[in-house]
């Protein structure tokens, strides 16, 4: 077979392939997704936006501090930085629950604040269809409501309240952990 006839056979085969090929299906029902980190405290599930959290970690050892609110767990050295640890359930008048090995720290880092928020449990990344957002949220304690901005329903039908760590970081009561 000559080079010319081989090339002609290949072009003919390519043309036949293009004529018989089916087009890709149109993606008309693409729904935007929203992602955050899931956690629980006081018996409810929450999710916080990714941009409001610097890190998720196990609870490090800490040193208790004198003259602070009962919800301040202490101060920990994390990679050479001092990280104050706060018990989020206790901040809202409850107590941390579940096994200690499941407790996790959500590290909140802003320009002015570096803090560890201890929760009952973390569930890692959670992804929701944006159309499953409910601005009215879910049934939660009244003390928590100012920090929640709606809720997402997951594929199993469970509701996850959107907890705004930025709002917590601006709360005067949270910022003043000293005993009064």
Which residues face 116 on adjacent strands? 85, 107
* Domains assigned to the chain: 33-175 (2.40.50.180)
Give the integer Cα–Cα distance in Å for 158 and 60: 30
Nearest to 41 by CA among 169, 161, 180: 161
pLDDT tens, residue by residue, 147-171 = 999 999 999 999 999 999 999 999 9
Q: Is 0.85 topped by the overall pTM?
A: no
Give the integer Cα–Cα distance in Å for 125 and 39: 9
pLDDT tens, residue by residue, 45-61 = 999 998 899 999 999 99
Residue 1 has pLDDT above 60, yes or no: no
């Amino acid at each position: 077979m000559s080079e010319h006839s081989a090339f002609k056979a290949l072009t003919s085969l390519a043309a036949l392939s293009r004529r018989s090929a089916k087009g890709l299906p149109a993606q008309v029902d693409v729904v935007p997704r929203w992602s955050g980190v899931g956690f629980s405290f006081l018996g409810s599930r929450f999710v916080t936006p990714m941009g409001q959290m610097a890190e998720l970690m196990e609870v490090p050892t800490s040193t208790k501090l004198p003259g602070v609110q009962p919800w301040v767990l202490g101060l920990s050295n994390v990679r050479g930085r001092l990280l104050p640890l706060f018990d989020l359930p206790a901040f809202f008048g409850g107590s941390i629950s579940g096994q200690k090995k499941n407790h996790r720290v959500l590290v909140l880092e802003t320009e002015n604040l570096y803090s560890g928020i201890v929760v009952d449990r973390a569930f890692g990344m959670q992804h929701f269809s944006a159309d499953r957002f409910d601005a009215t949220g879910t049934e939660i304690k009244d003390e928590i409501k100012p920090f929640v901005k709606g809720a997402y329903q997951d594929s199993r039908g469970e509701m996850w309240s959107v907890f705004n760590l930025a709002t917590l970081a601006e709360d005067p009561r949270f910022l003043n952990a000293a005993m009064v």
